[in-house]
Amino acid sequence: MPRAVSSQVDLDVAENGYMTPREDFFTRRTQSPNNRVKGHSQDHEENPSNPFQDASVTRPNQPNAESLARMISNARKEKRGSKIGLRDRICCFQWTWFTMTMATGGIANVLYTISNVYKAEWLWYIGLVFFILNLVLFVMSCILIAMRFAMVPGSFMHSFLDQMESLFIPAVVVSVATIMINICEYGIPYTGPWLQHVMEWLFWVYVIVSVSASAGMYLILWSTQVFPIHTMTPVWVFPAYPLLLTAPFATNLIAADRVGSGDPEINRLAIAVCAVTVQGTGFLISFMICAAFIYRLMTQKLPRDMQRPGVFISIGPPAFTVAGFVALGQQADIILPANLQGEPHFIFILQVLSILIGLWLWGLSIWFFLVSVGSLWKYVRPCGVKHKMPFQMTWWSFVFPNTALITATEALAQALNSDGLKIFGCVMAAALIIVWTLVFITMVKCLWKRQLLWPKELESE
């Protein structure tokens, strides 16, 4: 018979790395009368309200959710007393709000893709509306988070050290990538060659920024934070997401390249080679982290309610890679130089190879999609215990990764000339727009009901 393991034994074994703590390990240790760690200070209590805190290592100065709440609370009390006003709500604005602009830009990308497949001009105009709306939301988010950093001194540096908020800082880079992709789609075909050359320079800038942001963010996290395995979700992939937009950006930039008489074309080959390299790097990093997520599921079951939307993020890495690689493969005839020896054979090989890789990774995306949707079953089943998933800005994870799955489906549909995949992608696009609308309305309601952007009062100051 398996023997019951006490909290202290759990602690000792977990500290030495010989056993993964159970999901209730940190909760049990918090409730235990002997909840001190040998060899550490006895003067600091754990924070049971923070699900991301590693109880085995207590750091008195480690940033966490409570310290952020205290920082905001102290800032508002110094200025306005106990009354909560607009200024106090702005102080609660976080990087997670940029997931909204990621999702909105993704919807604009999906509508452009569908409009190209079916030559539907009315869908193009709806996509243009989403693109303009996304620009407004992005500028507004930038202004609000800048105001927060100005009104709460120290919160900028704190955001890089907070276990939850720091993971979403790359959402700004991804939002910029979606905006630049939308510019390639909705702007370049209707302007002169100047815009495509501007976007070519911005592509190289984005490559440098995305690689630096991804490596730098992971280095900061690995140097300052401890993430228990029982809290693991695909949100840990987020710092690699900027790399995953490189190939879709390159694909749309090459597709939008219109060369007139006397106009030099962009360096398509260099852009494609760089995009494949960076995209492959991002996918492999994400794949290794998602493998850790599978391990977490096998040992700890599905994530808790507040972490459940993050499961959908696992759809993104393979889906973005499919959308980029398949489209680049189909563009091989305009990417490879005309004087290349054996060019027709190279084109054929690249097209077939991109389709094969695309099919494998598309299947992986569909598998993660089914798992992610299935994880929500307990919230919609008609009988049994009612479960509620509280709204957070991570709900936008229901939208953004699925935009990649739709564009990947349509890329494969065009490469294989499959009407079934085209219809499947259109049905998913219609459903995703409904999901975007529901999430946006829920977000507005939570703002109105003071469930979002509302200071957290602490029991003891």
157-183 pLDDT, tens per residue? 888 888 888 889 999 999 999 999 999
Q: In 3D, which of 63, 138, 65, 39 has the Cα closest to residue 98?
A: 138
Q: What DSSP element (H or E) covers 397?
A: none
Q: What is the dihedral of CA 105, 110, 113, 116, to 10 degrees?
A: -100
pLDDT per position as a tens digit, 269-320 = 999 999 999 999 999 999 999 988 898 888 888 888 778 888 999 999 999 9
Tell me the C-alpha distance between 461 and 459, whole Å.
7
155 token code pair: 């919160």
Distance CA 192, CA 269 (A): 22
What type of residue is 186? Y
Structure tokens at 163: 């276990």
Average pLDDT, the chain: 81
Q: 140 pLDDT exceeds 70?
A: yes
High-pLDDT (> 70) share of the chain, %:
77
Is 432 a residue whose pLDDT tops 50?
yes
- Structure-block tokens of residue 287: 């794949």
C-alpha distance from residue 117 to each of 66, 306, 446 (Å) = 49, 37, 37
d(CA 94, CA 379): 27
What is the per-residue pLDDT for 264? Answer: 64
In CATH terms, the fold of domain 88-448 is Glycosyltransferase (1.50.10)
Q: Against a cut of 0.75, is the pTM above it?
A: yes
Of 47-61, 140-154, 180-194, 378-392, the range with the lowest mean pLDDT is: 47-61
Please tell me the distance from the alpha carbon of residue 169 to that of residue 87, in angstroms, as a whole number. 22
User: Using alpha carbons only, what angle is made at residue 349 by residues 347 and 353, rounded to the nearest 5 degrees?
Assistant: 120
The distance in angstroms from the start CA to the end CA of the chain is 48
**How confident is the model over 106-138, as pLDDT tens digits?**
999 999 999 988 888 999 999 999 999 999 999
SS3 for 170?
coil
The length of the chain is 461
Measured CA to CA in angstroms, residue 298 lies from 230, 293, 312, 396 at distances of 11, 9, 17, 26
- Identify how many contiguous H helices and E strands the chain contains and give both numbers: 18, 0
pLDDT over 80 at 32, yes or no: no
Which residue carries 């934070």 as its tokens? 225
Check residue 338 and give its pLDDT: 74
pLDDT tens digit string along 311-350? Answer: 999 999 999 999 999 999 999 888 888 777 677 888 889 9
